[in-house]
């Protein structure tokens, strides 16, 4: 397992070390040795594949926390463009008070801060402002609040912030709050957001029994949709139960 991690994440030694040790340290020295909130290895592997596949030039994530996914995005930007331009935005209102700036610290130590634009804000206020400002992103990762109404807002604004063919990915999709949001997208927004088959991006290429079971029972950890059309709907469109 650990040997596998070494080669899988060789592009970012700081991320590899965090995954191998299962621990990290905040700015004032606070130790975190249970990284339950950290994105899973599978998620990180998929995000890396999507980032490279899209050659994503601008990315956004809701929820910085320990900086696992942030390391992945910033290191991949470094690899793709080589020019630090704060091309990855990370939102997290609790980074300092709850996480002792652990995410910012690890990104800084890895020399990747130039690729990051961190905003200590709730996504519900930051995302509408980004939309109003005309920002667009090729890849968005939603891994912030896991409450239905917050994730719904992330989905609403996140999907509108996607560039053409851009992808929005949701973590923890077996959680009923998040499942409800992805179900709404499937039932009502299918003509503008197409669900992606993520199996080619998984380390097991979707061949494991565990993955096949999760697929059958719609209990996948990660779900992603690609923007294929305009997101507006007529004001009086028929309601689809979901
Ligand atoms: C599961 S963790 C993210 C883990 C991160 N992707 C990683 O790999 O290290 C969720 C994070 O979302 C943040 N969060 C919670 N509610 C939020 C909101 N409304 N807007 C933005 N971030 C939020 C939390 O402070 C927490 O750091």
Rg, the chain, Cα only: 17
Domain positions in the chain are 2-227
pLDDT-derived band of residue 185, with 50, 70 and 90 as boundaries? Answer: very high
Look over the chain and give the mean of its residue pLDDT values, rounded to a whole number.
95
Q: CATH for 2-227, among 3.30.70.3000, 3.40.50.150, 3.90.550.10, 3.40.190.10?
A: 3.40.50.150
How many Å lie between the centroid of ligand 1 and the Cα of residue 38? 9
Distance in Å, CA 125 to ligand 1 centroid: 15
Strands 24-25 and 88-91: unpaired
Q: Which of 9, 14, 63 to mutate to test the pocket of ligand 1 (most atoms within 8 A of CB)?
A: 63
Q: Which of 90-104, 112-126, 213-227 has the lowest mean pLDDT?
A: 213-227
Angle at 108 between CA 107 and CA 114, to 5 degrees: 90
Question: Picking from 60-74, 103-117, 204-218, which range would have the lowest pLDDT averaged per residue?
Answer: 204-218
Pocket residue to mutate for ligand 1, from 12, 22, 92, most atoms within 8 A of Cβ: 92
pTM score, whole prediction? 0.97
pLDDT of residue 66 exceeding 50, the answer is: yes
CA dist., res. 165 & res. 162, Å (int):
8
**pLDDT band at residue 1 under the 50/70/90 scheme:** very low
Query: What pLDDT score was predicted for residue 53?
Result: 97
Q: Which two tokens stand for residue 115?
A: 């690729």
Model pLDDT, residue 82: 87
Length of the chain, in residues: 242
145 with 151: CB under 8 angstroms? yes
Per-residue pLDDT tens for 160-170? Answer: 999 999 999 99
* Rounded Cα–Cα distance for residues 207 and 210 (Å): 9
Determine what percent of the chain is predicted with pLDDT higher than 70: 99
* Position in ligand 1 atom list of the atom nearest CA 44: 8
């Amino acid at each position: 397992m650990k040997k596998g991690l070494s080669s899988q994440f060789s592009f970012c030694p700081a991320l590899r070390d965090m995954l191998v040790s299962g621990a990290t340290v905040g700015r004032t020295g606070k130790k975190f040795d249970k990284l339950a909130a950290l994105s899973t290895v599978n998620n990180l592997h998929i995000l890396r594949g999507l980032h490279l596949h899209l050659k994503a030039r601008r990315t956004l994530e809701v929820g910085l926390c320990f900086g696992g996914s942030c390391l992945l995005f910033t290191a991949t930007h470094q690899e793709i463009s080589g020019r630090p331009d704060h091309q990855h935005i990370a939102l997290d209102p609790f980074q300092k008070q709850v996480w002792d700036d652990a995410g910012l610290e690890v990104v800084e130590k890895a020399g990747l801060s130039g690729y990051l634009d961190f905003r200590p804000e709730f996504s519900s206020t930051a995302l509408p402002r980004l939309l109003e400002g005309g920002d667009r992103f090729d890849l968005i990762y939603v891994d912030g609040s896991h409450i239905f109404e917050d994730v719904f807002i992330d989905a609403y604004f996140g999907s509108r912030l996607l560039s053409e063919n851009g992808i929005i990915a949701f973590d923890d999709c077996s959680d009923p709050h998040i499942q409800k949001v992805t179900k709404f997208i499937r039932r009502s927004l299918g003509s503008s957001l197409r669900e992606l088959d993520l199996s080619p991006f998984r380390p097991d290429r979707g061949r494991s029994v565990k993955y096949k079971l999760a697929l059958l029972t719609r209990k996948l950890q990660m779900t992603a949709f690609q923007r294929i059309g305009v997101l507006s709907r007529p004001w009086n469109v028929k309601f689809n139960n979901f």
